[in-house]
């Protein structure tokens, strides 16, 4: 039976940490409602103690949606108290607390010791659990933590009541096979690990966030922490749309999510607009060029059978259609296709004549549009629209 992967969306918390991408509470509510329709399981709504605005956002999102709402805290009493207050209206509330697990964080960030951070983490889980909400523990910088100590920490916080344990590659340091082995090691060495859900939260500093997340899920993790468009601190987080479509495309993994993939493109555009952060054209799944073909060889193969060059149907992610982009790299097949869409049925000699003129225009204009084609056709003897 296919294994369900919970989708934990942190667009409104980690994603909003991008400079210039701050949202109002009203904008967060708009996005949260779309995330619920998208099929997200849990929304991380903010860090309540950090500002009145974040506190209000957690309160209002808790009222606005019926899915899980999560509030971030440090392993501090005042943080947990404020988070619990903010989650009062949540139908399914979660407190996300934690502390550093790598030696570099323990020594240089906390000026502490393994023993002390372990004690603090266990205390925080126990205190948060007493508030009556789900508790998720994050072992910050787990990607660089000593494995034996990480296993000790995971076991201790699960024993203290953690429902979910987050194993973050906070700095995006890990290689996919090594991150997967970290998750596998925990399953092999933490005796109570099946009493909690293991979660993966990966950053994209070396461009491996999606690959690392998939490696963690394949190794047994049950929750993926993601953002729309992969936005987030520094180089960003794991992209929700990439994880959802990898799982949907690779059915051999025997995994599934609740994501309604046909809504992905619309939610991507909404987040991009409200955060004023354009999506790079070559972004997987939702980028402007994700289903665009400009190479003549590719265009010819695509027109014969779209599966030659597309492993995803654009309608499956909410993109209306694929596009044939006419450039100087395009061939006769693409030119003929676009002319036929405009109502022309060129003969081979007419197409050959048009193609030579087309290349001249394409070298000058980079992209040739329909108006350009109409002009070229008008200057071709005997070629008329059918």
Question: Which residue segments constitute the domains of the chain, with CATH numbers given?
Answer: 3-275 (3.20.20.70), 292-378 (1.10.238)
DSSP 159-191: HTT-SEEEEEETTS---HHHHHHHHHHHHHH-T
pLDDT given at position 386 = 52
pLDDT given at position 18 = 87
CA 185 – CA 193 distance, rounded (Å)? 11
**3-state secondary structure (DSSP) of residue 197:** strand
> Which segments of the chain does DSSP mark as H helices, in order?
25-38, 52-64, 77-86, 103-104, 114-129, 147-159, 176-189, 209-218, 240-249, 264-275, 296-304, 332-341, 348-365, 370-378
Residue 56 in tokens: 């209000």
CB 80 within 8 A of CB 31: no
pLDDT given at position 384 = 54
- Confidence (pTM): 0.93
pLDDT given at position 194 = 97
Residue 46 in tokens: 């903010």
CA 61 – CA 154 distance, rounded (Å)? 30
CB 133 within 8 A of CB 97: no
CA 200 – CA 325 distance, rounded (Å)? 38
CB 306 within 8 A of CB 322: yes
**3-state secondary structure (DSSP) of residue 291:** coil
pLDDT given at position 367 = 85
pLDDT digits (tens, 9 = 90+) for 3-34: 999 999 999 998 888 888 889 999 999 999 99
CA 111 – CA 261 distance, rounded (Å)? 45
CA 106 – CA 119 distance, rounded (Å)? 13
pLDDT given at position 382 = 53
Region label for 372, one of left (φ > 0), alpha (ψ between -120 and 50) or beta (otherwise): alpha
Burial class (CB in 10 A: 0-12, 13-18, 19+), 295: middle
First to last CA, the chain: 54
Name residues of the chain where pLDDT drops below 50.
none
pLDDT digits (tens, 9 = 90+) for 236-278: 999 999 999 999 999 999 999 999 999 999 999 999 999 999 9
CB atoms within 10 A of CB 307: 11
């Amino acid at each position: 039976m296919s294994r369900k992967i919970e989708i934990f969306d942190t667009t409104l918390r980690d994603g909003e940490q991008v400079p210039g991408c701050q949202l109002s509470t009203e904008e967060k509510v708009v996005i949260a409602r779309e995330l619920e329709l998208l099929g997200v399981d849990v929304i991380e709504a903010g860090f309540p103690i950090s500002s009145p605005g974040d506190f209000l956002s957690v309160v209002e999102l808790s009222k606005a949606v019926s899915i899980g709402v999560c509030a971030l805290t440090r392993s501090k009493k005042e943080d947990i108290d404020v988070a619990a207050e903010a989650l009062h209206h949540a139908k399914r509330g979660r407190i996300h607390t934690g502390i550093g697990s790598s030696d570099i964080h323990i020594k240089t960030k906390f000026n502490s010791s393994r023993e002390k951070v372990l004690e603090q983490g266990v205390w925080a889980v126990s205190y948060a659990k007493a508030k009556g909400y789900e508790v998720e523990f994050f072992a910050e910088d787990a990607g660089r933590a000593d494995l034996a100590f990480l296993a000790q920490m995971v076991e201790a916080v699960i024993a203290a009541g953690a429902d979910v344990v987050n194993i973050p590659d906070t700095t995006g340091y890990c290689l996919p096979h090594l991150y997967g082995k970290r998750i596998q090691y925990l399953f092999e060495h933490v005796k109570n690990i099946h009493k909690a859900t293991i979660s993966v939260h990966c950053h994209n500093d070396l461009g491996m966030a999606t690959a690392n997340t998939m490696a963690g899920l394949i190794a047994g993790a049950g929750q993926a922490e993601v953002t729309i468009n992969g936005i987030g601190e520094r180089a960003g987080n794991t992209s929700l749309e990439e994880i959802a479509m990898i799982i949907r495309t690779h059915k051999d993994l025997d995994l599934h999510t609740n994501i309604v993939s046909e809504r992905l493109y619309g939610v991507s555009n909404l987040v991009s607009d409200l955060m004023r952060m354009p999506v790079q054209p070559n972004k997987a799944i939702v980028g402007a060029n994700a289903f665009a073909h400009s190479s003549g060889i590719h265009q010819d193969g695509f027109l014969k059978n779209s599966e030659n060059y597309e492993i995803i149907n654009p309608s499956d992610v909410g993109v209306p259609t694929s596009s044939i982009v006419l450039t100087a790299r395009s061939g006769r097949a693409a030119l003929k296709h676009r002319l036929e869409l405009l109502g022309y049925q060129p003969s081979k000699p007419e197409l050959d004549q048009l193609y030579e003129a087309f290349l001249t225009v394409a070298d000058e204009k980079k992209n040739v549009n329909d108006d350009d084609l109409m002009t070229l056709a008008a200057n071709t003897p005997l070629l008329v629209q059918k």
